[in-house]
């Protein structure tokens, strides 16, 4: 090989190595954000499963304002159990994500009844992020109302 061919091969090799290193560094830098998003998804789906599994009539899920999580509680009724569950869920969100906040809102205009579960957090070195999940809950009340 001649000197120009050798230099061209070295430049091409250098570009390939630089590209691989750049992709690797981007993946390493993005990994914490991806892990936080996956945790937010897990937390939202955890609450969604509890909402769907609730079979008691008249139980409504809503933000647990003024309710403190009590993991040892033995609630007197289904609504008190749902309120405690939401308070404990919101506590887990704040523990597992930086500046984490969990919220749940009822969508009164949808049929069947639905909730919107939101998990928000702060990405390190970036702006805030959120994960939203819409949860449909079909219970005996809404089934009976639809059948009429």
pLDDT digits (tens, 9 = 90+) for 15-51: 999 999 888 888 777 666 788 889 999 999 999 999 8
Q: Which of 136, 141, 146 is nearest to 51 (CA)?
A: 136
94 within 8 A of 87, measured Cβ to Cβ = no
Omega of the bond leading into 12 within 30 degrees of 0 (cis): no
- Distance CA(140)–CA(144), nearest Å, equals 6
pLDDT at 67: 85
Percent of the chain's residues with pLDDT above 90: 38
- Distance CA(96)–CA(40), nearest Å, equals 9
Residue 147 CA, chain-centre distance (Å), reads 34
Taking 50 as the threshold, does the pLDDT of residue 139 lie above it? no
- Distance CA(83)–CA(75), nearest Å, equals 9
């Amino acid at each position: 090989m001649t000197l120009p061919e050798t230099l061209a091969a070295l430049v091409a090799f250098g570009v390939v190595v630089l590209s691989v290193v750049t992709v690797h560094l981007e993946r390493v830098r993005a990994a914490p954000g991806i892990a936080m998003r996956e945790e937010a998804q897990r937390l939202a789906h955890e609450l969604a499963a509890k909402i769907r599994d609730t079979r008691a009539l008249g139980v409504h899920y809503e933000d647990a304002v003024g309710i403190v999580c009590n993991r040892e509680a033995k609630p007197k009724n289904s609504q008190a159990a749902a309120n405690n569950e939401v308070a404990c869920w919101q506590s887990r969100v704040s523990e597992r994500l930086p500046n984490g906040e969990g919220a749940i809102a009822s969508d009164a205009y949808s049929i069947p009844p639905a909730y919107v579960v939101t998990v928000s957090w702060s990405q390190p070195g970036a702006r805030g992020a959120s994960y939203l999940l819409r949860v449909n809950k079909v219970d005996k009340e809404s089934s009976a109302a639809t059948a009429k």
